[in-house]
Chains A and B, each alone.
Chain A
Amino acid sequence: MHPAPSVIVFTTLSGLGFGLLTWLGIGMPDVSGWVAFVFFAIAYALAVGGLLASTFHLGHPERAIKAFSQWRSSWLSREGVVSVAALLVMGLYALGRVFLDQNWAPIGWLGAALSLATVYCTSMIYAQLATVPRWKTILTPALFLSIAVGGGALLAGERDFAVILLPVAAVFQIIWWTRGDLAFEQSGSTLASATGLGEPGQVRAFEPPHTGTNYLLREFVFQVGRKHAIKLRIIAFVLGFALPVLLVLAPFAHALFAVAAICHLIGIAASRWLFFAEAEHVVGLYYGKR
């Protein structure tokens, strides 16, 4: 799949932002006034920035409002509805925290649940697609949620939780990569099943329908990044999970939280780039490509 910058920025930033909002919603850290304002400002900047980035690749962003209508069937629509609900509820909760020194706990819990639900909906946009075997697994939401909660704990300054949850996310990441490498073969889709021509003999793509490229090849058959996949996985693993945990466990850890958070963000961006660049769509079979 083509790793469009808008979707990488979207899933990385909004995942982290809603992860932080989850922690703020359950009152961790227990802050108010200016300190709360800074925490909420960071969370909103990430969450809203990510959501805005996701509209950049649309053909008609001016019609984006229509995307709230099909929540009954579409995960993308659900994601839009739930994210706006999460932002509104958490906005109310933030008002209490920042200006009135109030902890409206039920609203906070509701906002936290909606924030997690937003990340789940984001992950299901990809996990629902049978056409991309690498994504079509319950491990995809597990990965997105564990990264959001772990990264959120890091940003919230909840060290005790971050040093447990980030390694958990790292384990999900490794399992997800390992399963993903075999997913296409195990999906059962081949050029023979795609064309129905496997019965008489061995099928080979002889000639594509056109001499140039097209939308399908640009969008679904992206092979450039795969040759650096191992290096990028190491970068994603070290920056996204290992280094942040080591940094926050170090002495003078408080000053290093910002560095840890930036490392984490870069690492997760690398992971998300691979999420798209390594994903193979079954339509590539028709072109004799993957």
Chain B
Amino acid sequence: MTDASLHTGPAAGELEREAEQADNRSRWMLSTPAIVIICLAAAGPLMVMVLYSFLTPGDYGNVKWEFSTQAWVNTILQRDIFDDTLMWADAHLSIFWRSLSLSLITTVLTFVFGLPTAWFIATQPPGKKEFWLFLVTVPFWSNLLVRTIAIQELIRAEGVINNTLKFLRIIDEPIQMMFTDFAIAFGMTYVYLPLMVLPIYAAVDKLDFRLVEAAHDLYATRWRTFWRVILPLVKPGIIAGSILVFIPSLGAYVTPRVLGGGKNLMFGNLIELQFGQGRNWPLGAALSLMLMAAVMVALIWYVRVTSRERADV
């Protein structure tokens, strides 16, 4: 450092550099709690799962510290107990298939009911919107299990729906709704509907209605305005809503357990079984990770397909 610079203060750029460093430090300090929570609550358990999936099941649950790939083999294959040949684990695959299709049905149903609902709320005059949004959140006030058991009361053999239909002499015998796939889809649609309504509402609320007028002015009918202008513009909300509904549906546990009974297992119940009665923690861990992988593949595919642009003319 020369004499001149000693007298005129720090060298050029030094003050800026110091300020930047201080800024960086405080930013890191602010994000520390978030990083700790993410490590402890998400990354940590996930590592444990990966570890467990490569161990041997203990005799009374838990794991033995012996390396094994048996759990991963058992997720899709099973060994015949008599002649030791490997074959497809039909039970697991059919349960996975059921979960997948019920989740898709739930996503589609929540969309079909959610879009008009979201549209209705978003087009209310300001002041009334808040009231309707508030109503959407009312179900969250009570416990999921309680709500699911309440649905049971609606659809069971002597429930409200069957009794009403019998009273009106529309049916003679009660319709079997409990413990069917219908019951599961019905319950999940009810439970996840708000998760579809809210993001779509947010998107419709932001929609510039002058664009709808412009489309109408340019000879588009209501239907074509919907397809060509409204739908593409609220698409981000639909994507967010679908993800928020599809992922928890795929791993749903309470609703299928209460409304589907023991017969109609979904993937979440299958996993639970391994940690409970099945006493096969490594298999449970492997199945969970498989579900996670499936969700990730589905997400990547979905986002890719839906973000594809129309490129004509």
> Are A and B genuine complex partners?
no
> Which residues of chain A have a CB within 8 Å of any CB of chain B?
none
